[in-house]
Copies of this chain bind each other. A is one copy, B any other.
Amino acid sequence: MRAVSTSRPDQQRQQDQLQDRRRRPARDDVRRALLDAAARVFARQGIDGASLDDVAADAGFTKGAVYSNFGSKEGLVAALAEDRTSAYLDLGLEAVDDLDDTLAVRAQVLGDRLTAAGDEQRDWHLLFFELWQRAVRSDDPDGAFRDRRAALHAAVTAAMEEQSTKAGAALPMPASELATLLMALSNGLAMERMIAPEDVPDDLMGRVLALVVGHGPAAGPTDAQ
């Protein structure tokens, strides 16, 4: 059962890992492994800076597997964007959900969670910025990335409205603008934190969000009128 790897080629090592020895891995597993490897390698070296050989080798396969599964490098990138942007959306929503407190406290907690998530997923965040760049450069308005971002924005907006209603407190600006602000702040602070961690305290984002949200036109935290 031990994965003896003395001098046998990569694809056999991979097969040992994924299933029993000499068994061909299921297609979905290969796909997954390649996508995960692509996320790692692209994040570290940049999409343009990484070759398909690099990606495939990291997954324990060869380029052939990539072409068989994704058709081209561009196809791999598109699949990756699809795959990982969904994960991002889920993470954001999860952070907003099932909180039960005043708006300001919720905002604080949300900020802390997003900051922590950004730290843990530094690599993925780098990849995210690169996908964003590609989407902006290719002014195709129907890219997967744009769609996903729009969905995230809509979901966050809805969550904001819901939270505001539940808390019975008005928001300081339209929910949709707050959603934009949240996303911008999350990305912007993550950037600053990556390049100069000492300038971005752990709780900064939470404090700012609490400040903004707690300053509603109809109901601040202390002056409920």
- Is the CB–CB distance between B176 and A199 below 8 Å? yes
Report how many copies the assembly holds.
Answer: 2
A interface residue numbers (CB < 8 A to B)? 44-46, 48-49, 126, 129-130, 132-133, 135-137, 145-146, 149-150, 153, 172-173, 176-177, 179-181, 183-189, 191-192, 194-196, 199-201, 204, 207-208, 211-212, 215, 217, 223-225
Given contacts A145-B195, A153-B196, 18 further A-B contacts (CB under 8 A): A44-B137, A45-B137, A46-B48, A126-B133, A129-B133, A135-B195, A149-B196, A153-B199, A172-B211, A177-B201, A183-B192, A184-B188, A184-B189, A185-B185, A186-B188, A188-B189, A211-B215, A212-B212
- Is the CB–CB distance between A200 and B180 below 8 Å? yes
Closest to A219 in B: B225
> Cβ of A185: which chain B residues have Cβ within 8 Å of it?
184-185, 188
Closest to A181 in B: B208
